[in-house]
């Protein structure tokens, strides 16, 4: 009996060393219904709502934009450390003859140097993490900047160009800080699934430019800042 | 004749059996050193070894081929790194496809298909991964190795308790010492992995490579997937490319973290003049939620557990029941590489990869249609 146990243990050790089983693994409970249980909401799943932009009409502006408000020097900064500020940098960089500064983590004390500030609103946990910034710190920086801009009277553009996936609690908090001082909203329209931005613009008689894709920011920047 | 006691006979038989298993497994393990054939196509004008740029690599398991596709027309240059992690197959299959089919019409394309050549010679322990997989081409099946994320421990051993990244002092777990994508910019007299990283960094410096793209894959539940990761000096290029790519696929741009060291998209951008980019596609065989990883699963991406995870909203990508196949993953890489070249408008001149198949064509025809047929 002892020999059989020894042989059995030796065989177990050998098979354990090989550890390359190819047998199809099966769940003890069988195939679960993927629709059962508490399915989470996929933030990237499309939400049906009436969009004014389309493949055929990429840019729609509601209201009148007063271009004379948007004087230099211009600053692009980020509230939320997503790559949307960098997208605006690329877009404005393609408009000839515009001098501007791009600083994703600008601070309140720098605001006195600018007459127009474009704020890319949209929180990215990856962006904040990569920059080593906590949510509270980003909110505090945003509040300080908005307070300073109230003092300086600079023109503010609220740019939410990250689309639906950029919406979220922190993004909405940041947007709510910027909107009261904004003179123009630029919005990638799929982020407007609850009509938050168009309703705000309508209620406050604020011009809003809706775009279909992030690359439309080039045309929008050209329309606003182009000579 | 004296009878051999039964317990000694049993012990002898067990020893013979174990010895036979050791020999068999040893031969199987060593067979991973056989390289999958690569058939240089009409665009290849030269070939070098990485040891030219780090002589300490010569004769080592880390030395690897660099394929040169020089259009003859002056312009910008691009270096494509495949096989930084040889358990991320779409990276090196896309790189091999370029070697075998691309013919640039301006600028120079450099391709290192097996950046960590040593890591192709083993698997990750306890993963039960297949050693090889096959892709069907017009002229028959081609085989490729499915390797490890890290340098073979036979070539670089032992791991330290804590890996201290040489140039930054960053500390990581000890096994990361064999991860090529934590070793940049590398050291001429460092570990094998650091020497490979050093060779690649030196190559970029000597050739003043305009754009460097490191091709990777990631778990479908990982946050940075279906993404381009860009060093700040390549962010404009990534954004311009994204605008065009978005019309064909869901893809995002992520900024390279400044506080995470050793990676291509951080160190190559910091230590050389190249525009450093990294790409990630969704590979189920790498994740933590998959079932058995078979050679077929590596190619088709089909996995019922990932499909279910997708239904529960646990993934960062849409995961269909039919899987995310290697053709789609390679199509992402190849289309993005082509778009980086098209979007580049810097002072180095233009780079045109020539008649590269479109995203839709690669998915419709399969990546095998853009690989050479195996030699008879």
Domain hosting A135: range is: 69-225
| Confidence label for A47 from pLDDT (cuts 50, 70 and 90) | low
Chain A residue closest to B228 (CA)? A83
Instruction: Write b or e for each residue in B78-108: b if 16 or more Cβ atoms lie within 10 A of its Cβ, otherwise e.
Output: bbbbbbbbbbbbbbbbbbbbbbbbbbbebbb
User: Which of B253, B291, B313 lies closest to A39 in CB terms?
Assistant: B313
| Confidence label for A33 from pLDDT (cuts 50, 70 and 90) | very low
What is the pLDDT, as a whole number, of residue A20?
Answer: 40
Q: Which residues contact A65 (CB under 8 A, 6 or more apart)?
A: A184, A207, A209, A223, A224
Chain A residue closest to B25 (CA)? A18
pLDDT digits (tens, 9 = 90+) for A114-157: 999 999 999 998 889 888 899 999 999 999 999 999 999 999 99
Residue A3 forms contact with B (CB below 8 Å): yes
What is the pLDDT, as a whole number, of residue A15?
Answer: 63
Q: Do A22 and B292 touch (CB under 8 A)?
A: yes
**A57 inside domain:** no
Write B34-38 long-range contacts (CB < 8 A, 24+). Answer: B35/B114, B35/B120, B35/B145, B36/B132, B36/B142, B36/B143, B36/B144, B36/B145, B37/B142, B37/B374, B37/B375, B38/B65, B38/B67, B38/B96, B38/B99, B38/B100, B38/B113
**A7 inside domain:** no
Q: Which residues contact B156 (CB under 8 A, 6 or more apart)?
A: B118, B177, B178, B191, B192, B193
**A132 inside domain:** yes
Token look-up 């693994």 returns: A25
- Positions of chain B with pLDDT lower than 70, given as ranges: 1
What is the C-alpha separation between A167 and A144, in angstroms, rounded? 22
Instruction: Write b or e for each residue in A28-59: b if 16 or more Cβ atoms lie within 10 A of its Cβ, otherwise e.
Output: eeeeeeeeeeeeeeeeeeeeeeeeebeeeebb
With a pLDDT cut of 70, the percent of chain A lying above it is 84
**A44 inside domain:** no
CA atoms within 13 A on the CB side of B68: 12
Which range has the worst mean pLDDT, A13-22, A176-185, B185-194, B310-319?
A13-22
In terms of DSSP H, where are the helices of chain A? 2-18, 84-93, 125-131, 135-152, 169-178, 196-203, 217-225
pLDDT digits (tens, 9 = 90+) for A90-114: 999 999 889 899 999 999 999 999 9
Q: Do B242 and A214 touch (CB under 8 A)?
A: yes
Residue A60 forms contact with B (CB below 8 Å): no
The tokens for B33 are 């050193």
Looking at the structure of chain A, the number of domains it has is: 1
Residue B128 forms contact with A (CB below 8 Å): yes
**A193 inside domain:** yes
Of residues A75, A93, A214, A98, the one with CA closest to residue A154: A75
CATH architecture of the domain covering B36-156+184-288+325-370: 3-Layer(aba) Sandwich (3.40)
Residue ranges of E strands in B219-286: 227-230, 252-255, 275-282
In terms of DSSP H, where are the helices of B31-121? 89-101
In chain B, residues with a C-beta closer than 8 Å to the C-beta of A90 are 235-236, 239-240
Q: Is the pLDDT of residue A22 over 60?
A: no
The tokens for B365 are 């025809």
What is the pLDDT, as a whole number, of residue A19?
Answer: 45
Q: Is the pLDDT of residue A28 over 60?
A: no
**A103 inside domain:** yes
Q: How many CB pairs under 8 A join A and B?
A: 85
What is the pLDDT, as a whole number, of residue A165?
Answer: 83
What is the pLDDT, as a whole number, of residue B374?
Answer: 96
Residue A25 forms contact with B (CB below 8 Å): yes
Residue A97 forms contact with B (CB below 8 Å): no
Q: What are phi and psi of A213, to 5 degrees?
A: -135, 155
- The CATH number for A182's domain is 3.40.50
Chain A residue closest to B311 (CA)? A34
CA distance B222 to chain A (A): 12
Sequence spans of domains, chain B = 36-156+184-288+325-370
Chain A residue closest to B224 (CA)? A126
| Confidence label for A30 from pLDDT (cuts 50, 70 and 90) | very low
| Confidence label for A7 from pLDDT (cuts 50, 70 and 90) | confident
**A25 inside domain:** no
What is the pLDDT, as a whole number, of residue A39?
Answer: 40
What is the pLDDT, as a whole number, of residue B2?
Answer: 77
């Amino acid at each position: 009996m002892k020999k059989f146990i020894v042989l059995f243990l030796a065989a177990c050790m050998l098979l354990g060393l090989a550890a390359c089983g190819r047998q199809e693994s099966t769940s003890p409970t069988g195939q679960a219904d993927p629709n059962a249980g508490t399915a989470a909401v996929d933030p990237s799943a499309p939400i049906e709502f009436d969009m004014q932009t389309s493949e055929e009409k990429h840019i729609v502006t509601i209201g009148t934009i007063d271009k004379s408000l948007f004087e230099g020097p211009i600053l692009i900064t980020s509230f939320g450390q997503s790559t949307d500020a960098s997208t605006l940098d690329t877009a404005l960089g393609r408009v000839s003859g515009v001098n501007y500064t791009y600083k994703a983590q600008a601070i309140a004390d720098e605001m006195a140097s600018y007459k127009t500030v474009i704020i890319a609103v949209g929180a990215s946990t990856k962006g904040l993490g990569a920059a080593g910034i906590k949510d509270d710190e980003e909110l505090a920086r945003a509040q300080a900047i908005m307070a300073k801009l109230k003092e300086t009277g600079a023109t503010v553009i609220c740019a939410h160009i990250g689309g639906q996936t950029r919406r979220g609690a922190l993004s909405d908090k940041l947007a709510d800080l910027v909107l009261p001082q904004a003179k123009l909203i630029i919005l990638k329209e799929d982020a407007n699934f609850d009509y938050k931005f168009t309703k705000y613009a309508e209620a406050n008689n604020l011009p809003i430019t809706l775009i279909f894709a992030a690359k439309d920011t080039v045309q929008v920047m050209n329309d606003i800042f182009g000579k | 004749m004296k009878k051999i006691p039964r317990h000694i006979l049993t012990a002898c038989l067990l020893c013979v059996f174990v010895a036979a298993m050791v020999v068999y497994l040893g031969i199987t393990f060593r067979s991973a050193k056989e390289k999958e054939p690569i058939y240089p196509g009409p665009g290849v004008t030269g070939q070098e070894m990485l040891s030219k740029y780090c002589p300490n690599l010569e004769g080592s398991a880390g030395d690897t081929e660099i394929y040169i596709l020089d259009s003859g027309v002056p312009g910008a240059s691009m270096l494509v790194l495949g096989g930084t992690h040889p358990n991320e197959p779409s990276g090196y299959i896309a790189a091999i496809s370029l070697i075998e089919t691309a013919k640039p019409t301006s600028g120079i394309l450099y391709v290192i298909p097996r950046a960590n050549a040593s890591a192709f010679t083993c698997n990750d322990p306890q993963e039960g991964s297949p050693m090889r997989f096959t892709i069907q081409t017009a002229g028959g099946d081609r085989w490729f190795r499915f390797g490890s994320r890290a340098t073979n421990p036979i070539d670089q051993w032992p791991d330290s308790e804590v890996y201290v990244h040489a140039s930054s002092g960053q500390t990581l777990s000890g096994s990361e010492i064999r991860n090529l994508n934590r070793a940049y910019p590398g050291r001429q007299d460092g570990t094998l992995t650091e020497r490979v990283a050093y060779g690649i960094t030196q190559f970029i410096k000597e050739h003043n490579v305009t754009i460097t793209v490191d091709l990777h894959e990631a778990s479908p539940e990982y946050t940075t997937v279906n993404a381009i990761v860009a060093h700040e000096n390549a962010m404009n290029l990534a954004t311009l490319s994204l605008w065009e790519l978005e019309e064909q696929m869901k893809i995002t741009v992520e900024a390279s973290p400044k506080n995470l060291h050793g990676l291509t998209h951080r160190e190559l951008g910091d230590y050389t003049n190249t525009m450093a980019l990294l790409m990630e596609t969704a590979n189920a065989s790498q994740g933590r939620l998959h079932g058995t990883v078979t050679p077929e699963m590596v190619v088709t991406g089909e996995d019922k557990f990932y499909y279910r995870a997708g239904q529960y909203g646990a993934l960062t990508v849409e995961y269909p029941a039919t899987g995310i196949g290697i053709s789609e993953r390679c199509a992402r890489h190849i289309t993005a590489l082509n778009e980086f070249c098209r979007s580049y408008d810097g002072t180095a001149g233009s780079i045109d990869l020539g008649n590269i198949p479109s995203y839709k064509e690669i998915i419709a025809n399969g990546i095998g249609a853009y690989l050479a047929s195996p030699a008879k």
